[in-house]
A and B are shown apart, each in its own frame.
Chain A
Amino acid sequence: MLFFLLESFIILLPLLGSIAFMTLAERKVMASMQRRVGPNVVGFYGTLQPFADGLKLLLKEAVIPSHANKVIFLVSPFITLSLALMGWAAIPFAKGTALADLSLGVLFLMAVSSLGVYGVLLAGWSANSKYAFLGSLRSSAQLVSYELPLAMVILIIVSITGSLSFLQIVEFQQGVWLIIPLLPLSLVWFIIILAETNRAPFDLPESESELVAGFMVEHSAFPFAFFFLGEYASILIMSVLTSIFFFGGYLIPFGISSSPFLQSFVLGLKSSLVFFFFIWVRATLPRVRFDQLMVLCWCSLLPLGFAFFVLIICTLVAFEATSY
C-alpha cells in the first residue's frame, strides 16, 4: 500500500508542478510573441510566479453564490480535476514505465476524458448564473462534438498499430513515426485537440467578450484553481498523446539510446514542443464563431475522419494480401 501511495505521488506531484510551470511558460512565450516582458518580479526571471499565484488562490475566499446549488457547485471542479488526473494512469513515460499498462489504455483514456463534460455541465447549471449556464451549454456541446473526430483519429491510429495499448502503439513506431504516413491526419488531430481542450481559437466557452469566463464565472479561489489545473492537465495529456500517436512517444530517433531516463526526457521534450504549438496558436489566431465551430466539426472533420478511416483500412487490407 505504501508503495502504491509513493507511486501515485511520483505521478501526481511532478504533474502538478509541470502544470504550474506550463502556466508560466504560456505567459512568458505569449509575452515574447507580443513584445512584452511577462512576469519577471517573483523569483529569478519570474520563475516563482506560478507558486505565488497558487498560494494566493489557496488563501483567497471561495465565494459560493446564494442561488447556487452548493454541493454540486463544489463537486463540479472536483470532478474536473479528478478526471483530468486519472487519465495519467495509462500513459507510458518510458519503456515499461506506466502506472498501469492497460491493454485497452486508449479506450480507458477516451472514457475518462469523455466524462470530463460533467464538470463543465454541472458547474454551469449549479452556479445559477446566466453567463455560466450559456457557457456550460456551449462548452459541453463543443466538447461532445469534438470527441467524435477525436475518436475517429484514434480509431485510425489503432487500426494501423493493431493495438489499444499505448506501449504497443509506441513500439510500433520504431521504424517510422506515424506523422510521416499520416501527415494530413495529424493536421486534423491538431485542430481537434485545440477544440477538445477549449483553447484558442476555439475557446468559445471562455470568450471574455461575450460570456466573461463561461461556465466557471462564479467559481473563485481553489474551486476555480481546480478548473484551471484540470484544463492544463488535459492540455498536457493531449500534448503527450500527440507525441505518442504521431511522434513516436518516448522513442529516441535512430535508436541512439534506450535508457529509460533519456526516454522519459525525450517524451517530455516532444510534449513541450506540442505545448509550444498550443501557445503559438493562441497568440496568433483570432477566435472563431460558435456556429463555425460546430459546422467545422460536423460537416468537415467528422466526414473527413470517416473517409480517412475507410481509406486506411482499405489500404491495410489491400497490402496485407498474404493473410487472406
Chain B
Amino acid sequence: MLLFFILFVPLFVLILLGVHMLVATSNPDAAKVSPYECGMNSVSDARQKFQVSFFLVALLFIVFDLEILFLYPLTVSLYHISLFGFWIAMVFILIITVGFIYELASNVLDYAKTPSSKITPPNPPRAKLLAGIRNYSTSSSLPSST
C-alpha cells in the first residue's frame, strides 16, 4: 500500500500538470520570458557567489543530523540497554556538547557580522523626551536646528 501510494502521488501530480498544459494558453514573447527584475534589464548572471555562512550551515547540519540519527536507536531501546548504555549515551552527548560550545563561542553563524549586543539600543522614550525638552528650552526659536 505504501509503495503504491509513493508511486501514485507523483503520477497524480504529473496528471495535474498535464491537465494544466492541455488547458492553459501559451503565447510567450521576448518581454514575457525575460528574467524578472522589477522592470530593469537584468545584468550579469543570476548565479552569483554567496556568503560562506550558508555553506557552513549545510556542513554543520550534516554533523548534527548524524548525531541525532545516532540518538534515535537510543530513544527506542532506552529501557533495554541497562545503566551502562545510559552512561555511554551521556558520554556521547557530552562530546556533542563540546562541539556545541565551540560553535557558540566562535560566533560563526552570526550573519550580521556584528554581534547583536553591539548595536546601540535606541534611546528609551523617557530619555528622548528629556532630550527633546532640553533642546527646546536651549535653542531659541529655530525649529530647523532640532
A and B touch in the complex (CB under 8 A): yes
Residues of A near any B CB (own CB < 8 A): 1, 4-5, 7-8, 11-12, 58-67, 74, 78, 81-82, 85-86, 89, 99-100, 102, 107, 125, 127-134, 137, 141, 144-145, 147-148, 151-152, 155, 158-159, 162-164, 212, 217-218, 221-223, 226, 289-292, 294-295, 298-299, 302-303, 306, 309-310, 313, 316-317, 320, 323-324
Asked if A162 and B79 make an inter-chain contact with CB atoms under 8 angstroms apart, the answer reads yes
Tell me the interface secondary structure of chain A in the complex. Answer: helix
Q: What are 6 of the A-B contact pairs (CB < 8 Å)? A: A85-B12, A128-B35, A128-B45, A129-B37, A221-B24, A298-B60
Expressed in whole angstroms, the Cα–Cα distance for A129 and B48 within the complex equals 10
Q: Which of B61-69, B124-132, B138-146 contacts A (4 or more CB under 8 A)?
A: B61-69
Q: Knowing A63-B32, A313-B89 are in contact, say whether A148-B37 is a contact too (CB < 8 A).
A: no
Contact of B23 among A4, A59, A144, A317 (CB under 8 A): A59
Nearest 8 interchain pairs by C-beta: A291-B111, A159-B75, A222-B20, A100-B2, A291-B112, A66-B33, A4-B4, A82-B10
Asked if B5 and A163 make an inter-chain contact with CB atoms under 8 angstroms apart, the answer reads no
Residues of A near B65 (CB, < 8 A) are: 147-148, 151
Asked if B96 and A306 make an inter-chain contact with CB atoms under 8 angstroms apart, the answer reads yes
Asked if B33 and A63 make an inter-chain contact with CB atoms under 8 angstroms apart, the answer reads yes
Asked if B13 and A85 make an inter-chain contact with CB atoms under 8 angstroms apart, the answer reads yes
Shortest Cβ gap from A231 to chain B (Å): 14
Expressed in whole angstroms, the Cα–Cα distance for A10 and B36 within the complex equals 40
Shortest Cβ gap from A109 to chain B (Å): 12
Smallest Cβ-Cβ distance to B77: which chain A residue: A162
Smallest Cβ-Cβ distance to B28: which chain A residue: A63
